[in-house]
Structure 1
Amino acid sequence: MMDWPTRTPTPPCLPELAEVLVTLRAEAGDDTGGHPGDNVLDALRDSGVLRLPVPAEYGGLGADWTDANAVIAGLARADASVAIIVFLHYAAVSRMTTYGSEEQRKRFLTAVARDGRIFASSWSEPGADAAKQKIATTAVPRADGCWELNGAKTFTTGAGVADHYLVLARTGEEDAAPGSYGRPDQGIFVVDSTRPGFTVDGVLDLSGMRRSATGLIRLDGYLTEPGDVLIHSRETPAVIGHPHTLGLTLGAVALGIAEEAHDTAIDIGRRRSLLGNPLYRHHVFELGSRLAAIRGVVESATRADGDRTGHALTAKVFASETAEVVCRGAQELAGSSAFSRNHSLNRLSQDARALTLMGPPNYLCRELVATHLGVQ
């Protein structure tokens, strides 16, 4: 039987990825703490993973977003939870690179490249809708140029792991016309996890992405520094959606999940001497064809000219939902053993399902793309 090209190539600018994957695989099945272990975080900080898309003038590798998606897919093969953390870090880096002031870029991007600082985004809140229209967290300006932040955030991926958080907060009375994702009377603030007023309230017990440190944070009278405001204008919705315009897509996480599920199905067939069975081979072919479609959609997201939002969101929807199908097919080939809680295919399947619900969730992605195309 022919060998499928099942692995997304590692970018040549990041040879350390293989070492990171070894560390990830060593503890990927241990989700009891709800977050990556110190060994994984140390491996990420010591490698070039975190600084991959940071421009070279700030000490980064200056890689493009095709390489960023490839690294995310590679990480997801070993641990989709860590891939999500890195994806959100890359998204934050892209926002800082484009919308940050020169002082902010020197301050924050250099810290990523030199010290391995991790960024996270904190948009969601209890009772807020998926489009982030109803945010209760407030940011009040002070005479000294600082802002005071108060509120609670939930479903913050990387809670307690990240060093800095891009926090979405309400800066007005919400009387402005809403955007498609976020509102123009909101702002995005860089929050330092070591400063007073910032608290992590623990991680959630999720059914998928169980090691992603997705949890709750609180801001109680948190005072920013004058240079901690990324944006507080009508551009806020554009800043939220900016990574998608580059083609950075959560579909890359789904690609890694599907690659790993497909390879697992082949390995099971080899161990059980089933690859000589035509029916088994045909099932594996179907999984491989779906995997090829996922790869094509994800890779095309960064090839489009201009605004790549539609391509990135479409890749997220198609890849995550098709990865679910690939995982389910691999489970059926593995038999009842795959439904053991500790079986890697069960974990992959749960991670693929969780990905369809992560922001923006797939139903909102469809709405955003349809609106972008002028379809009502």
Structure 2
Amino acid sequence: MDRPTTPSITPGLPELSEVLAALRAEAGDDSGGRPSDALLEALRTAGVLRLPIPVEYGGMGASWGDTNGVIAALARADASVGIIVFLHYAAVSRIIAYGSDEQRRRFLTAVARDGRIFASSWSEPGTDAAKQNISTTATSRADGGWELDGAKTFTTGAGVADLYLVLARTGEEEGAQGSYGRTNQGIFVVDSARPGFAVEGILDLSGMRRSATGLIRLSGYQAEAGDVLTRSRVTPDAIGHPHTLGLTLGAVALGVAEEAHDIAVEVGRRRMLLDSPLYRHHIFELGSQLAAVRGVVESTTGERGDRTSPALTAKVFGSETAETICRTAQGMAGSAAFSRNHPLNRLAQDARAITLMGPPNYLCRELVTARMAQR
């Protein structure tokens, strides 16, 4: 099938089509629970990882709207990789906003020059979705550094990423809770190559099966003073910072919805069903739903100011509408679309996974309506 392979805007990324072709070639192989090393190398060398990094640090200085477009294109080929790159961009946005001059030079240059991948480790077994009660600790040392201890689960990119933003309790006074996290927590940049860091396994998920989502453990990890990105009152704001820019998981949902829509069209063409008014009406409905998702995602970066509510709304609307599109497309394709390896079944499971990824949709609704009540 002749599908578009690039978003409408591809800022300075002529190699993106090659990455998307490589993604499509292995998207159905989830046996390893992660992208292949060859695919990761293609991401590193194509410039995808440095897209939103300011030019002065070796990046492309792309807008967050362009960044959402590239995430959607990647997710259309492989939602798991779209998620990995989305979370990498989210981490990069925090380094840009909260890093010192030295930290920006150190970490952003490492991405732009060496292709290092970022991930974030917030969640722990038994904690709430807002990350307000965690057990991972950061104990201060006399030299200004910190020792980190604890276990994190649902870390997307575990074993794939090189650098991790880890949320830990700093042992300071009991912190007030924000929309995310507490003020007695800190965010630390953890290098996977150092002693004290370990990946303890990849989870066998029903969706996003190639996202390398798994468990990491920190055992006496020695963080330097320059590895502390945020502490105290800044931390809750830093956790939610990507949303203020309009960066949204709705872009991943858009890619999933686009792919499911096009598969439904191709099924109709292959089975000579496009002459049926009923089938064409179903296709029209899918197209209108897809257009709505695209419009909502594009609107997240359309204005100045805090874009948190549009970004969270796009995440909820996009993921839930993508689920609907996938289910409808499965019904149109027939029983074969529910087999384990059918692309529509994979897409439906990926769409469902987006609704559950942080912040999950129920929390997004609470955060958006709480902001409305504060006006």
TM-score bracket for the superposition, by shorter chain length: over 0.9
Amino acid at match of 1:172: G
CA contact (8 A) 1:337 1:343 kept: yes
Q: Find out whether 1:134 has 2:133 as its counterpart.
A: yes
Amino acid at match of 1:113: A
State the TM-score, normalizing by the size of structure 1: 0.97
Mapped partners of 1:177, 1:269: distance in 2: 55
Moved over 3 A (4+): 3-8
CA contact (8 A) 1:4 1:288 kept: no
CA contact (8 A) 1:54 1:61 kept: yes
CA-to-aligned-CA distance 1:144-178 (integer Å, 9 cap, x gap):
11100000000000000000000000013662221
CA contact (8 A) 1:249 1:298 kept: yes
> Counterpart in 2 of 1:233?
232
State the TM-score, normalizing by the size of structure 2: 0.97
Q: Find out whether 1:161 has 2:160 as its counterpart.
A: yes
Output aligned runs, 1:1-376, within 5 Å. Answer: 8-172=7-171, 175-374=174-373
CA-to-aligned-CA distance 1:327-371 (integer Å, 9 cap, x gap):
011101100110011000000000000000000000000011111
- The 1:140–1:156 alpha-carbon spacing in structure 2 relative to 1, beyond 3 Å, is same
CA-to-aligned-CA distance 1:300-320 (integer Å, 9 cap, x gap):
000122100000000000000
Q: Percent identity?
A: 75
Amino acid at match of 1:272: R
Mapped partners of 1:4, 1:371: distance in 2: 40
Partner-residue secondary structure (3-state), 1:151: strand
Q: RMSD of the TM alignment (CA)?
A: 1.6
Partner-residue secondary structure (3-state), 1:46: helix
Partner-residue secondary structure (3-state), 1:50: helix
Deviation at 1:226, TM superposition (A): 2.0
CA contact (8 A) 1:77 1:257 kept: yes
CA-to-aligned-CA distance 1:43-79 (integer Å, 9 cap, x gap):
1001010000010000000000000000000000110
Partner-residue secondary structure (3-state), 2:283: helix
Mapped partners of 1:375, 1:242: distance in 2: 19
- The 1:174–1:22 alpha-carbon spacing in structure 2 relative to 1, beyond 3 Å, is farther
CA contact (8 A) 1:24 1:40 kept: yes
- The 1:220–1:10 alpha-carbon spacing in structure 2 relative to 1, beyond 3 Å, is same
Mapped partners of 1:4, 1:165: distance in 2: 35
CA contact (8 A) 2:6 2:16 kept: no
CA-to-aligned-CA distance 1:264-319 (integer Å, 9 cap, x gap):
00111111111111100000000000000000000000012210000000000000
